Amino acid sequence: MSNQSESDRLFGVLNLHKPAEVTSRDVVNTVQRLVRPGKVGHAGTLDPMATGVLLVCVGPATRLVSILQQAPKTYLAEFRLGQRSDTDDATGQVEETPNISPIAVDRIEAAVADFVGVIEQTPPAYSAVKIDGRRAYTLARQGQDVELKSRPVRIDSIDIVSYDWPLLCVTIQCGSGTYVRSIARDLGEKLGCGGLMTSLVRTAIGDFRLQDAVDPPALNEHNIAQSVLPAVRVVGHVSEYRCSEDEQVIVARGGAFDLHKPQLNRKTIQADRPADSESISKAPPVALVSACGTELLALGEIRRQGRRIQPRTVFIARP
């Protein structure tokens, strides 16, 4: 097999199961070596201790990373109450909170409910957030005081799976930019006992599920093409317009065309708009797909009071 010729044709996303104790960049580098010189990019970094779904876009699909980041993320997390750490998880310097008695589950349920919705959240000091161009974790490891500003994040739901003091297991569905470690920390502070995260599994990003994910070590130059899912799967959570053959020709040339509403399937995008006032004014994208819905042709936007579609990012080749 010619790796270069095969990689040139790859256009889609890999649903990978990131193992513990490796970085998201390690997984991306594994894919990059297999598809070189093709491009790769991932949506949603996982901490080294975390496992689960890591989506890696391949080829022209790297231009869809920002769309993929809008998809809701689902986590299974375990928190330990009665402890605090400098990293907000069990990998840091852990301190016991003295004189703490077990907390009743009804108090925990009431406290958890306050974290659902658009909330202000401060990222952990040991995080990839930049301060004056430097990563916060770099400054924290150097012993510098790290002060990060809070920012709005969207948390759709938190459900208690099990509770046996001091361990609390929850499922969380949230938008991008949310730190589950911060939820553990802030929940513990709200309860007055402290809290940290002991384990984290990302079980889904949008429609991409952990049970369907591929183990990165199983990938090689012979099977990676079969593991790349169609790019149209990336935009499954945005509005879709199915193009006729004539419209596909127009799309390939980047031209606009009149909207035939019966072919438009509208979907609500739960984007993290409160975090960016500029994004509030931006119209959500529309996925322009083939008549049968299996091929992503372009991303576009609806203009002129909903009567016309203008392609913006075109993937289909010009005729």
Parse the chain into domains and list their residue ranges: 3-71+207-230, 73-205, 238-314
Cα torsion angle, 172, 175, 180, 185, sign: negative
127: which DSSP letter? Answer: S
User: Tens digit of pLDDT for each residue in 77-130?
Assistant: 999 999 999 999 999 999 999 999 999 999 999 999 999 999 999 988 877 777
pLDDT confidence of residue 267: 66
Write down the pLDDT at residue 144.
73
Domain 73-205: top CATH class:
alpha beta
pLDDT along the chain (319 residues), means of 10: 54 96 93 91 89 96 90 96 95 94 96 96 81 71 77 96 98 94 97 97 96 95 93 88 93 90 63 36 79 93 82 87
pLDDT given at position 143 = 72
**Cβ neighbourhood burial of 194 (10 Å; 0-12, 13-18, 19+):** buried
The torsion region of residue 292 among left (phi > 0), alpha (psi -120 to 50) and beta comes to: alpha
Query: How much is the pLDDT for 274?
Result: 38
Q: Which residues pair with 241 in a beta bridge?
A: 264, 288
pLDDT computed for residue 270 by the predictor: 43
pLDDT at 43: 83
The three-class DSSP label of residue 124 is coil
- The confidence score (pLDDT) of residue 150 equals 87
Annotated catalytic residues are: 47
Type of residue at 176:
S
Q: For domain 238-314, is the CATH number 3.40.50.300?
A: no
Which one of 3.30.2350.10, 3.40.50.300, 3.30.870.10, 2.60.40.10 gives the CATH number of domain 3-71+207-230? Answer: 3.30.2350.10
Q: Is the entire prediction scored with pTM above 0.85? A: yes
Q: Do 3-71+207-230 and 73-205 have matching folds?
A: yes
